[in-house]
Amino acid sequence: MSDSYAERQDSIRLVRDSAAAVVPADFRRIRDLRFTDAGFDAATWAEMVAMGWVSLRLPEAAGGAGLGMAEYVALAEALGRGLVPEPLIPGALSAALLAAAGQAPPEDYVVTAWQEAPDTLHAPGTPSTARLFLPLARGAARILLPVREASGLALYELPNPSLDVAMMQDGGHVATLRPAMDGARRLADDVAPAMERALDEAALATAAYLLGVMEQGFAMTLGYLRTRKQFGKAIGSFQALQHRAVDLQLQITLTRASVEDAADVLDSDAGFRHRRAVVSRAKARAAEASMLVTRSAVQLHGAIGYTDEYDVGLFLRKAMVLANSFGSATLHRRRFVAEMPEED
């Protein structure tokens, strides 16, 4: 084992360990934050910023930690296991754009209004078009707006934007923004390259978060199968349920392989198309597998799994919200076919 490999594994282990400070031992905090105004806890967000998570991918010269995608996906996976609602992934995307604009990493939550249509991973920057699906925007201190201009994809900061809010199944919310440029502050002339990279990294981090969601939901289900008894024996001893559990474990294992391989490719000098292809492979698999695993987890719990009071349902609701975030499985399968070289 090379020294660099061992050091990388140590770095990933430290990131996972640091997540224990935020990931709850139970889900009371998660339940308490559902359907609240902000949707997340400001004190927990401040703790995440202090630990350098929001700027984890930024180079040290830009005030970041200078870590790779392997560390980022390890962190996102750990947060997914705990259903942590604090918006690390959209916050990290905004931090990348601010860094491209020469700005310091933000201490507050900054959300970027980049999406103009459902199910896309492209930011056209059309000036007057409504921006959709801003995650937890009511808790944001600032909103960034990319706008297509002659110089490129300019970046603006909007003061006091008007938002239309819709609640989501997991108890969070998304907002629609109708841009009004009066009083907008221009931050950069062209952040297009940073935007492309940030969107791909956000898609992969979302896949990793979904990996954590399905792993923990599956672990809870295995525990239930081992303790719930029928006809005098644990239902986990029934062969039909064992076969189903093996199928679900296979989906989780394949998703992990896809996510970790994509992180390695993004941390290498691979070409642009290869990078996009492996991100799409990972996100497509994570989106579909997370829905299959979490739905099955609810079903395998029987009637109690369908009650809101039982925690396993929280994992299905989170998967329902994030499966299409930063591109659905359909979009990413299509992009994978377009970008992956035929010989691979």
Residue 4 above 80 pLDDT? Answer: no
Q: Is residue 181 part of a domain?
A: no
**Look-up: residue for tokens 């918006």?**
87
* Count of structural domains, the chain: 1
Six token digits for residue 239: 């062969």
Provide the β-strand partners of residue 147.
154
pLDDT value at residue 159? 82
Predicted pLDDT at 22: 84
- Higher pLDDT residue, 241 or 67? 67
- The mean pLDDT value for 330-337 works out to 97
Q: Measured between alpha carbons, how far is 3 from 67 in angstroms, rounded to an integer?
A: 17
* 137 located within any domain: no
CA distance 54 to 275: 22
Please state whether beta strands 142-149 and 110-112 pair in parallel, antiparallel, or not at all (unpaired).
parallel
Torsion angle in degrees (nearest 10) through CA of 187, 192, 194, 196: 140
CATH number at residue 219: 1.20.140.10
Residue-wise pLDDT tens digits, 268-277: 988 999 999 9
- Asked whether the predicted pLDDT for residue 167 surpasses 70, the reply is yes
Nearest-angstrom CA–CA distance, 258 and 24: 27
Would you say residue 241 lies in a domain? yes
41: in domain: no
In a domain, 245, yes or no: yes
Residue 15 belongs to a domain: no
Question: Per the structure block, which two tokens stand in for 94?
Answer: 């905004």
Residue 19 burial (CB < 10 Å; 0-12/13-18/19+)?
buried
Residue 291 lies in a domain: yes
Domain assignment present for residue 247? The answer is yes
Residues of the domain holding 298: 193-339
Quote the tokens at residue 199.
């969107």
Mean pLDDT for the stretch of residues 150-167: 92
